[in-house]
Amino acid sequence: MAENPQKLAARPLSPFVTIFRWPITMATSIVHRATGVGLAGGLLVLVWWLVAAASGPEAYGFFIDIVQTTLGQLVLFGFAWALAFHAVNGVRHLAWDLGYGFTVKTADLTGIVVIVLSLVLAIGVFVLAYTGHGGYYQ
User: Number of H helices and number of E strands within the chain?
Assistant: 5, 0
User: Which residues of the chain fall short of a pLDDT of 70?
Assistant: 1-19, 134-138
- Which amino acid is present at 51? V
Residue 82: the pLDDT is 97
Q: How many CA atoms lie within 13 A of 81 on its CB side?
A: 13
Contact residues for 42 (Cβ-Cβ < 8 A; gap 6+): 75, 78, 79, 82, 83
Give one word for 3, left, alpha or beta, with left for phi > 0 and alpha for psi -120 to 50. beta
Residue 6: the pLDDT is 63
75-104 pLDDT, tens digit each: 999 999 999 999 999 999 999 999 999 999
Q: Does domain 23-135 have CATH number 1.20.1300.10?
A: yes
Rounded CA-CA distance 43/86 in Å is 14
Rounded CA-CA distance 34/89 in Å is 12
Render the burial of 13-32: b for 16+ CB within 10 Å, e for the rest: eeeeeeeeeeebeeebeebb
